[in-house]
Amino acid sequence: MPSAWAQELEYLPDSPLSSDSSLDEDEVNRRMTPHWASYQAILKIRGIRLETVRDVKEFYEKHLQHHGPELSVSHSEYLHICENQDGDALCPDAGLRDNLFRGFRICDGTKVMVKAVHLFSREYEIIRFLSAPRLRCDPMNHTIPVLDFIEVVDDDIVFIVMEEWSSQLMTDAPCCMKLFLAALRQCIEHAVFMHKHRIAHLDISLRNLLTDYNGHYAYIDFELSRRYTKTSKPLICGYRGTEVPPECERGAVTDPYKIDVWALAVLVLRACKVCMHDFARLQSFIPDC
């Protein structure tokens, strides 16, 4: 009979970037690669239109009007490819993973990001939980705003329709210290909020932090996240997220919440570097204990 300690120990996949390794989770938590054209009609019925070649061409034409020949070579090549296609054909962004697609909300033109996940995945369970009305109104909940969940039950797939925010956290560097501290506060608040509800994000990093440029910051990407409802002292082993604590590097059994705390500290340090702030200066804002 397994011990209580063994029952609480969980082994995680080697990498968040691959779901095909021998240590990965079961089928429902694999990263999906849907045939997006097959779901256009379903999404359109729910008021979402995926980005087409025509949309991309119009975007770059407007960009050229405002910025002239400053368009980068890579973007120019991308535009050249689009010119040889049907304007109504879908135009996936080469910089996005296969389970993501840009689009628009038909009623008002709001830009959205659509993510495909398995209907029975942990990611869907967690993002749906965090987006519930009773939690969404909590000021400490800084989950990316979700506009709709579009389930295709026959295919065991769900499309999570989110507002499209930017990964460029600050438009200018160095940025205002007040804005910088406000951003860090939201990062810390959301980690506390998740842990309060027994959720470990397990991939806190700058690349999983977005902004709407209106003073709001949000966490994304819950592919590695876990919600621990059956134990108060979870333990994991084999963790390989973006920011890996030293004990995980050594293969030690670790508290998943402490992994988030480590990753959050690294995020603060990296944010200081990106936004050109001296970490020593931030210490002056921290009261003595």
Three-state DSSP class for residue 186: helix
Question: 16: which 2 tokens?
Answer: 């968040």
Q: 277-286, pLDDT tens digit by residue?
A: 665 565 555 5
Q: 21-76, pLDDT tens digit by residue?
A: 333 456 888 889 999 999 999 999 999 999 998 888 888 777 667 666 555 545 66
When pLDDT is cut at 50, 70 and 90, the band that residue 248 belongs to is confident
Question: 168: which 2 tokens?
Answer: 């460029």
User: pLDDT higher for 74 or 245?
Assistant: 245
Question: 25: which 2 tokens?
Answer: 């989770």
Q: What's the whole-number mean pLDDT along residues 146-163?
A: 97
When pLDDT is cut at 50, 70 and 90, the band that residue 90 belongs to is very high
pTM, full prediction: 0.83
DSSP string over 60-115: HHHHHHHHGGG--HHHHHHHHHHHTS-TTSB---TTS-TTEEEEEETTT--EEEEE
The 3-state DSSP composition of the chain as helix, strand, coil percent (nearest 5) reads 40, 20, 40
